[in-house]
A and B are shown apart, each in its own frame.
Chain A
Amino acid sequence: MASARDIKRRIKSVKSTQQITKAMKMVSASKLRKSQATVQAIRPFAHKIEDVILSVGSSESSHPFLMDRDKINKVCYLVIGSDRGLCGGFNSNLHRFLDHALAAETHDYDIAVIGRKVKDHCQRMGYPVSFNYTCIGDNPGFYQAQELARIMRTAFERGDYDEIYIVYSEFKSAMSQTPRIKRLLPVQAPEKTAASSKLIDTDYIFEPDREQILDTILPQYVDIMVYSSLQEAKASEHGARMTTMNSATDNASDMINKLTLSLNRARQAAITTEISEIVGGAAALS
């Protein structure tokens, strides 16, 4: 049995680990709140843009961002993960999802990577990484998303890629995040809803004309899609980290309880031995 001193030392180290996990949990919780607010702030903007794209008549347009290309030579996957670990299954779920998607991909592909963990994974698996961007921060600004979207748009326009997909973690709740894939380019025309069809019926004056409006709106729509995926991925990351750190803190408590128990037992054993020694000594004297 370990000596009482060893156990005491052990308890101390578990306690300090618990302090760290508790602090990380708290930090993630506050970051999560911030991210969640941003995710919600984007939604009305995104919906509005979708409505407008519909009402401009995206179905009749032959804008290059809307047209499926006849021949697909190369596709690109933009994978959004995290820079840091300690967030439970967040990254490994995403990696497994990506592996599956790539295994099913019949075309030639490239991968654009956000987040150090994803980059490491891709290098390990030997995927062709065309571009990587790490240290995006905990609350990426819109300008960062714009920059990213611009890179993707130009690559698409140049014909480097014929299709671009985003792979990210969808934020459902702090407990659950599911990896998802969606097509960034060519833009999939948003679905009609009751609210948007009312909008379409309005007889707008289009200035200067529909095509030029699409020219401005579609790139913005791409920006928004990148931005909202980034934010969702970040919210998922914070959520995953919060949950993981919460269970780590609980585990540390359990461990401390167990260790305290064995510490008490060890102390008790030491006392018992001592008493029996004294009694034995006294008996020998008489």
Chain B
Amino acid sequence: MTPLRSAGTAPARLDALRADLDAGLGADARAWFHRALQEAAAHPGTHGPISVWELRLAEAGRRCGNRHADAVRVLLLHAARADAATLTRVYHQGTADERRAVLHALPHLVPGPDALPLVEDALRTNDTRLLAAAVGPYAARHLDAHAWRHAVLKCLFTGVPVDAVARLADRARGDGELARMLTDHAAERTAAGRTVPEDLRHVLALTGAAPAPSSAPSPAADHSSTDHPHGKES
């Protein structure tokens, strides 16, 4: 599994996604995918009890395999020219996998902040896969400072690697309030005899603030030798 380097890298290009899928899908899945793209382009919008492209969106996992489903769904949403209202409906009627694909599609399909409630909804969950998708380029563009800081902190709480946060360095630079929140969180962990996640030190350094006090609790006092990636955050 190749870690994504989202922040600061080249924009995701849909033609690159398409090329990756064409290379990675088996013959049957590729044929299904091409047909689904054509259907979505020819018959976008809502029609009948369930639009054909929405049916294809629902079955993308079993047709193309989970590894490719996110990319397939993003391209189907793009082919269907889904706007903010449609994406909102698809998100709310979707499985976690479909919701993740909607979040990935936002920067490609929604120019303004209309779909921000979807990002906020995903940030309220404890599903790390949704959280990671929520802190992408669309959030970087539209989340206000308070919500963005809490999103970063939530990544640290739940073990989502902060390299999932788009434009992390840009937005963290000179953010004194984020630095304070990080320092307080580090102090709270140190007081509890827990380690301070390396990602926290990394983000704190990006803010330009002084490093968090070194905390190296004795092994006996360290009740969470690893930062459990799915800590309770309820």
Partners in one complex: no
Q: What is B's interface to A at a CB cutoff of 8 Å? A: none
Q: What is A's interface to B at a CB cutoff of 8 Å? A: none
